[in-house]
Amino acid sequence: MERNHQPADTTGKEEIMKYEAEAQSPNSSLYHILHYINGECSQSDSNEWLDNYEPATGKVYSLITKGIKSDVERAYQAARNAFPLWSALSAEERSDYLIRIADGIERRFEEFAIAESKDQGKPVWLAKAMDIPRAISNFRFFATEILHTSTPTYVTDSPKALNYTLRSPLGVVGCISPWNLPLYLFSWKIAPALAVGNTVVAKPSEITPMTSALLAEVCIEVGLPAGVLNILHGTGQDIGANIVEHTGIKAISFTGSTRTGEYIARTAAPMFKKLSLELGGKNPVIVFEDCDIEKALTTSVRSAFLNQGEICLCGSRMFIQRSIYEQFTKDFVQRVKTLTIGDPSDDSSFIGALASKEHFDKVLNHIRIAQDEGGTILCGGTAIQPEGRCSEGWFIAPTVIEGLDSSCTTNQEEIFGPVVTLIPFDTEEEALQMANSTTYGLAAVLWTENLTRAHRVSAQIESGIVWVNCWLLRDLRTPFGGVKNSGVGREGGTEALRFFTEPKNVCIKLD
Ligand code: NAD
């Protein structure tokens, strides 16, 4: 996709910025991704640029303004100045702005989907089916949810009093998101934060900044007041850490790796910031002999390999009851071998490219570790070089491994790529023990037709989400998050509105 235009700027500075950017950047013919601060697109004070790669070709296709601490300060000041006006709007007025943003994305649906695919490596059809519709839903969901909230009231007996809870926005909040579901997760944080009256300093991953740059254009198009949302680009060290460390930013909603989450917790806790941390996973899929095998097979192929396995909710460890293990494995591998890998712009590609060269190398290294640990590769296990324009892209064949103990590195560490391991089990207790044996606890999938077993195992599994006979079936009203090293706090529905507000108890004596 050719993108030679600059972000729209209603202030008329567009041309000036374009020329400044061209003069100072190493490759002036590429699209330049700029910050969105105080309602305008602007370059970083650093005057430096980061390369932005297209994973499918391995080539630089745009440049990202390389944000630094002073940009965070500019964004913070803009957000702070916008807070009194934005927080004083009625819920209907804020809702109206969010709906307009959703409509604005929808109007440019095709452009957003193509951009997400080019930037992330996922197939365009998937961006159209999942990422962009969900980003639109995120804005619409929270825009309408704030119109239907209620507050608990308690009537105290003696002495008589009425207690009720007021909920106020926090002020300026920080939202930091990863590269796997770029706009989907970015909007999942921004929408509730804005809906309840906060102003936001947000950072997408430097690996996938493009759709957040398009979102900035939409915000300008729909007239979102200046400073309400500020989007900064740059590395985790330069921008992310400075958002986390900023004393004026009252809360951090973060989705990303457990390692970064640990840094954020350590840094933000002494400042008493509110924290929501959505972190890594090593999700188990337990297939009992009494399941609907056809459904389990079909869905498990998707739960292992959709989005190149780069969904935090993907099932990466499959525990299969021994009585069906052999046949299930044979059928599973046969289906995986039919998955098509290739150009993400081709609708016949089920699997696209991995998001970055670094991640591609990491996943290949994990496959080598699995072999060193004695694993048998049943299919995949190698990089793929499609013919034509994608020959230098970062593609890895969907990989199925068996023969590994549940305690080995491969079955304990998050790989976050198109790699799944298969492990037989005999009893429910054994399956549970192995499923719970990692430091993670994000999502789990159970396949069984036995309702009693489904309830029993769901209650015992250490996980924030359990899907029974399905996967990735999401209802935006439900609490979303992980246990153990998969995170702290919950997003989604009223949980998100609670996170982004502070409750205040008001007690009125009645007699
Ligand atoms: P990451 O932690 O490297 O980066 C995530 C974001 O944090 C990026 O925007 C990055 O620039 C920023 N960042 C990096 N260092 C920072 C620092 N010191 N301070 C502040 N911000 C910093 O994660 P990633 O590699 O982009 O994403 C993959 C990870 O995200 C996987 O572990 C995956 O499981 C996890 N994830 C979790 C969920 C969930 O809901 N639990 C959803 C999606 C992805």
Taking CA 237 as the corner, what is the angle to CA 232 and CA 242, rounded to the nearest 5 degrees? 60
Per-residue pLDDT tens digits for 122-139: 999 999 999 999 999 999
10 pLDDT higher than 70: no
**Structure-token match 């934005």, residue found:** 86
Give the active site residues.
Answer: 278, 312
Is the pLDDT at 352 greater than 90? The verdict is yes
Q: How far is the CA of 244 from the centre of ligand 1 (A)?
A: 13
Residues 6+ apart with CB under 8 A from 285: 300, 303, 304, 315, 317, 318, 319, 444, 445, 447
Instruction: Return the CA Rg of the chain.
Output: 24
Q: Return the best residue to mutate from 130, 131, 176, 186 for the ligand 1 pocket (most ligand atoms within 8 A of CB).
A: 176
**Residues linked to residue 155 through DSSP beta bridges, in sequence order:** 162
Q: Which residues contact 488 (CB under 8 A, 6 or more apart)?
A: 261, 265, 275, 276, 277, 481
Residues 6+ away with beta carbon under 8 Å from 471: 299, 300, 302, 303, 313, 315, 445
pLDDT tier for residue 29 given thresholds of 50, 70 and 90? confident
List, as one string, the DSSP characters of 383-445: EE--SGGGTTS-EE--EEEES--TTSHHHHS---SSEEEEEEESSHHHHHHHHTTSS--SEEE
Show the tokens assigned to 155: 């009537």
The model's pTM: 0.94
Residue 373: pLDDT over 90:
yes
Each residue's pLDDT tens digit, 308-344: 999 999 999 999 999 999 999 999 999 999 999 999 9
> Are 24 and 55 contacting, i.e. CB atoms less than 8 angstroms apart?
no
Atom of ligand 1 nearest to the CA of 359: 25
Q: Which residues line ligand 1 (CB under 6 A)?
A: 176-180, 185, 203, 205-206, 235-237, 240-241, 244, 255-257, 260, 263-264, 278-281, 312, 414, 416, 442, 482, 486-487
Kindly give the number of the ligand 1 atom that is closest to the alpha carbon of 205. 9
Q: What angle do CA 92, 98, 103 make, to 5 degrees?
A: 120
What spacing in Å lies between the alpha carbon of 346 and ligand 1's midpoint? 28
Percent of the chain with pLDDT over 70: 95
Note the pLDDT of residue 147.
Answer: 98
Residue 375: left if φ>0, alpha if ψ -120 to 50, beta else—which one? beta
CA 262 to chain CA mean position, Å: 17
Tell how far CA 291 is from the center of its chain.
Answer: 30
pLDDT band at 28; cut points 50, 70, 90: low
Residue ID of nearest Cα to ligand 1 atom 13: 236
Q: How are the residues of the chain apportioned to helix, strand and coil, as percentages rounded to the nearest 5?
A: 45, 20, 35
Kindly report the protein residue whose alpha carbon is nearest to atom 19 of ligand 1.
Answer: 241
pLDDT at 234 over 50: yes
Among protein residues, the one with the nearest Cα to ligand 1's atom 16 is 236
Q: Is the pLDDT of residue 241 over 60?
A: yes
Contact, 498 vs 476, CB < 8 A?
Answer: no
Is the pLDDT score of 262 beyond 90?
yes
Ligand 1 atom at minimum distance from 281 CA? 34
Is the pLDDT at 12 greater than 50, yes or no? Answer: no
> pLDDT at residue 40 above 60?
yes
Query: Phi and psi at residue 489, in whole multiples of 5°?
Result: 90, 170
**Residue-wise pLDDT tens digits, 68-120:** 999 999 999 999 999 999 999 999 999 999 999 999 999 999 999 999 999 99
Structure confidence at residue 205 (pLDDT): 98
Report the alpha-carbon angle 432-434-436, nearest 5: 65
278 Cα–ligand 1 center, Å: 9
Q: What is the pLDDT of residue 26?
A: 52
Contacts of 8 (CB under 8 A, 6+ apart): 14, 41, 217, 220, 221
